[in-house]
Each structure stands twice: as structure tokens, then as C-alpha cells.
Chains A and B, each alone.
Chain A
Amino acid sequence: MRAENVRFAYGKTPVLENVSFDVQAGDYVGIIGPNGGGKTTLLKLLLGLEKGAGKISLFNTPLPAFKDWHKIGYLAQKSPVSQSRFPISAEEVVLMGLPQRLGSVVSVGELKQVHAAMQKTRTRQYAGTIFHDLSIGQQQRVLLARALVSRPEVLILDEPSTALDAQSREMFFELLGELNKQHGVTLLLITHDTGEVGKHISKFMYVDKTVVFFGTKEEFCHSAAVAKHLGPFAQHTIDHLHNHHGHCPLGESCEECAHGHAEGNHA
């Protein structure tokens, strides 16, 4: 997944400028940044939901020519349910994650895939329930099953854990970690929850109108660009990461820690 000099504006208001990065297969990228920094817009550009300037390639194919959408799973920030009662079961919602084809008949193979994805997100018991009647957290897990049902190689998630309780959130991130480590699924995840996700993420991307930082977790902790951009909040974000581990991700080799530059729980 590659972006080269990508730009986007709403009218004359620039949202993203000169965005370039290269996400490798197997990466688990945590996208962080302030509200209004362009994180969601960036994901929409990658998915072709917004059209900007610059070049985006998916699986080495320029975005306009990309057709293998089943290789990409997507989970949006907001549940799509409107005020109207959309009479569709959770099972049918998950089915929408498979490549859409003509006709209305659902094959046995498709149903098996749907049930396997629901099993993975522990939503199999809601298969026949009207999606609208599920709680927000249950809906979010069903939507994760929809994102997973096509067995994607890349998962793009926009703050997926906001509506989840603590237990579901833990299960959610464990599952994402498992998909990344055991199945090699590449993940791009917008999150404000650096503490919870920190133990799984391999790279951070800090987005604030442009990509301020993109690198490993260890580089992030000691990045001058991040420190300059975030000011006092940099330490807070880094502490969040370290709190979770109880030690600096660089361990004894961390010169910053050895010199005691960082405070708080920075071990």
C-alpha cells in the first residue's frame, strides 16, 4: 500500500498535503493524530471513497485500476444503521462483505464463510437477529466479521473500539493481533487508545495534515519530530505505550532511559 504526494482539500481548505508512505505486507500500523488531522480522510482516500491528487497504489496496482477489493477489509468509525429499522439479519450484513455478484441466491460456500467469520468475532449466536436490534458493541463485532469474511490480506479500521466495553475491546485487539501475527494480515488502524493497542502495533503513523512521523514503535518513542509536534502531549502518548509494557520498548539499549530523560513509568 503506497501513497505518493497525496493531497486532498474540501473546497479551498486543505485537509492533507504531501502525504507519502509505504506500508509493507504484515505491518500493523497504528494511525494516530489530533481530531481533524485528516486520519479518516486518509483512509477514505486509500479506499477510493474520496478522490484527491497524487498517486495511491494497492497491491502494486494504481487505485483507479484496482479491482481485487476482496483483499481489503474495512470497518468504519460509525455503524451504518439509520433511524429507520433496516430489516436485515446480522448474517446478511456479514454476507455483504463477500464480493458482490448478480442474483439473489446465497451459496452454501458463502454461508460457510459467513459463519466462520462470525465464529471468529463471537457473533455466531446473533446470526438470525435483526442487526438494528443488536447493541452498538454487538453491531461493531458483526461489522468486524463483515470486514473479515472475504479473508482479506489488508484490514483498514477507523477507531473500531470506541463503542466496545473493556472485555470486548480486549478480545477485539487480541483478535486483530492474532490475525496479524498468525495469518500475516496487514493492519491499518486509527486509534486514540495507544495504551491498549500499543502491545500489538509494529509501526506508528502520526497524521496531522500530513504524515508527521511514520516508523517503528521504538523510533516513535524517541522521535524529535513527534516531540516537536506534540509538545507536552508527546510524553503522555509515550508513557501510555510504556505503561502497557512496563518497560521501554528499546529495553536496555535505550539511551534516553539510561539518562533518565523520561519520567513517570518510563522504566
Chain B
Amino acid sequence: MLEFLSYGFVQRGLIAGTLVAVACALLGVFLVLKRLSLIGDGMSHVCLTGVAVALLTSTSPVYMSVPIVMAASAGILKLADKFKIYGDAAIGIVSAAGLSVGLLLTALAGGFNTDLLGYLFGSILTVSTGEAVLCGVLLVVVLCGLKLFYRYLVSACFDEPFAHTRGVPVQTVNLILVMITSVAVVLAFKVVGIFLISAMLIIPPVAALLISCTFKQVLGLAAAFGAASVWAGIYLSFVFNIPSGATIILVDLALLLGAYVWSKLYAL
């Protein structure tokens, strides 16, 4: 049953997938509560630009996408703040820009090829050791950030104007949150693909929010759901020979359904 664990590429995929899923779930809790959950969707579309530029210039899609997605995320916050438009509209604008530029560059690069399809639909089993290490660094940064800025983050999520009156640098907190999320999104597109990244940011936190009584419980459960979906998703994809990215997200959805039923049974 655990035969699949003996393969090196599976081990790397599991480790990287678990690390990035936990990071995404933890970040997702704050994004969901700040009603910024679709920012992951916007960022993932911008990833296409990064991948297209990388394919055009024969560089690493991951390293090329990080600065591009970070700039786009900062753009979303600026648009919402300076032009006084709703966050979802700002995400929509940047997302459309990212997707169109990405498609244009893809056409210039000679159209879709297998590499690009791998990024669109995920290829967790092609994760390199360097990328797995990067996933580890990301999770360490997320955990340290959470430990250090926990009270700032919770306060800014719960009531942004009031947090401002307590001296919390709300805009800086928001900027740091979306910058770290940008890195997580770029690393996650190898795991589940550009199309499904936002699910890793949204579904585990929403499931955890349904059945938790404390904020720390939400963080713990979201991380556990994220990790469990990667393990179960990879196992099922190996057993039934089906795409791993989509399977991981379907496991996430099953966990969400379970959490919903639990919340109804125990009247949470």
C-alpha cells in the first residue's frame, strides 16, 4: 500500500506539496477573513505571464514568476487603495491583465507546449530538490511571521479601522501578507497547477472556520486539512492513475463537505 512512497520523485512531491499546502492554508485563513481570498486566483493568472516569460527566455518559471506576481499583488492593493475601488474589482483587473499578457507571450513563444500544460494543470511529481527546499523556507517564513505578528494580523483581520487606531501598521501588514502569499502561489502552481491554486488558499481555511471555536484552532485545522489533502490526493492519484492536482483539490472539497456536516451535527 505504501509502495508509492519508495519513489524519490513521490517523496519530493509529498514533502514540497505538504509544505506549500500548510503555508497556503495558514495564509488563506487571513485572506478569507479579510475577504481577499480571490487574490490567489488573480495571482495565479499572473503566474501565466511569469511562466510565459520564463519559457520565452529559457529561465526557471518559478524564479521568474515570483517578482512578477509580487508586483501584481502590490498593484492590486494600490488599485484598491488609491482608486477607491472594491478589492474584488482590483483583483479582476490585475487578473485579466496577467492572463492576457501571459497568453500573448505564449503565442509569441510558439504556442502551448507540454511544459506550459504542466504548469497549467500541475506536475507535483516533477518538483526539484531546490523547489522543495524553497517550499520549506516559505513555510518557515510563514510560521515565524505568524508567531511574531499574530496579534497584529488577528486585529487587522477582525477590525481594520480599529487596528489602525491601536497603532497597527495595517497597510504594511496587508502588503507583507500578500507578498508572502505571492511566493506561496508561485510555489503552489507546481503542485496543483495555475487553475487550482486558489482552492489551496480557500478551501482548507473555510472548512476549518466551519468547525473551530478559537482562532488558533482554525489555524491548526486549516494546516491539517491542507496537509491531509496533499497526502490523500497523491495516494489516490497514484492508485487510480489520475491527475494529482485535481485529486488534491477534490479531497479538499470532501473535507469541506465533512466539516459542513460536522458543524450541522454539533450545531457550531
A residues neighboring B (CB under 8 Å)? 44, 47-49, 67, 69-70, 72, 74, 76, 80, 82, 84-89, 92-93, 96-104, 130, 146
Query: Which B residues have a C-beta under 8 Å from some C-beta of A?
Result: 32-33, 35, 147-152, 154-155, 157-159, 161-168, 209-210, 212-215, 217-218
- B166's partner among A85, A86, A92, A99 (CB-CB below 8 A) is A99
Tell me the smallest distance from the CB of B251 to a CB of chain A, in Å.
23
A100 touches B152 (CB 8 A): yes
3 smallest beta-carbon distances between A and B, as pairs = A104-B150, A80-B159, A69-B167
Write the nearest CB–CB distance from B210 to chain A, whole angstroms: 8
Q: List 30 A-B contacts (CB under 8 A).
A: A47-B165, A48-B165, A49-B161, A49-B164, A70-B166, A74-B162, A74-B165, A76-B162, A80-B158, A80-B159, A80-B162, A82-B35, A86-B157, A87-B212, A87-B214, A87-B217, A88-B154, A96-B154, A96-B155, A96-B162, A96-B163, A97-B166, A98-B166, A99-B166, A100-B166, A100-B168, A101-B151, A103-B151, A104-B147, A146-B162
Q: Determine if B213 and A130 form an interchain contact, defined as CB atoms under 8 angstroms apart.
A: yes
Tell whether, in the assembled complex, residue B155 and residue A100 are in contact, meaning their CB atoms are under 8 Å apart. yes
Given A72-B165, A74-B165, A99-B167: A87 and B159 interface contact (C-beta under 8 Å) = no
In the complex formed, the residue of B with least CB distance to A83 is B35
The verdict on A49 contacting B154 (CB below 8 Å), with A84-B33, A86-B33, A87-B217 known, is: no
CB-CB under 8 A from B33, the residues of chain A are 82, 84, 86
Contacts of A99 in B (CB 8 A): 166-167
Q: Nearest chain A CB to B167's CB is how many angstroms away?
A: 5
Q: Which of B35, B159, B164 has the most CB of A within 10 A?
A: B159
Contact B209 A96 (CB under 8 A): no
| Residues in chain A near residue B210, CB distance under 8 A | 85
CA distance A96 to B155 in the complex (A): 6
Contacts A76-B159, A76-B162, A100-B168 supplied; 14 other A-B pairs, CB < 8 Å? A69-B166, A70-B166, A74-B165, A76-B161, A84-B33, A87-B215, A88-B215, A92-B215, A93-B158, A96-B151, A99-B167, A100-B152, A103-B151, A104-B150
How far is A186 from B125 in the complex, measured between Cα atoms in Å? 64
Q: In the complex, which residues of chain B have a beta carbon less than 8 angstroms from the beta carbon of A80?
A: 158-159, 162
Closest approach, in angstroms, between the C-beta of B262 and any C-beta of chain A?
14
CA–CA, A220 and B180, complex, Å: 55
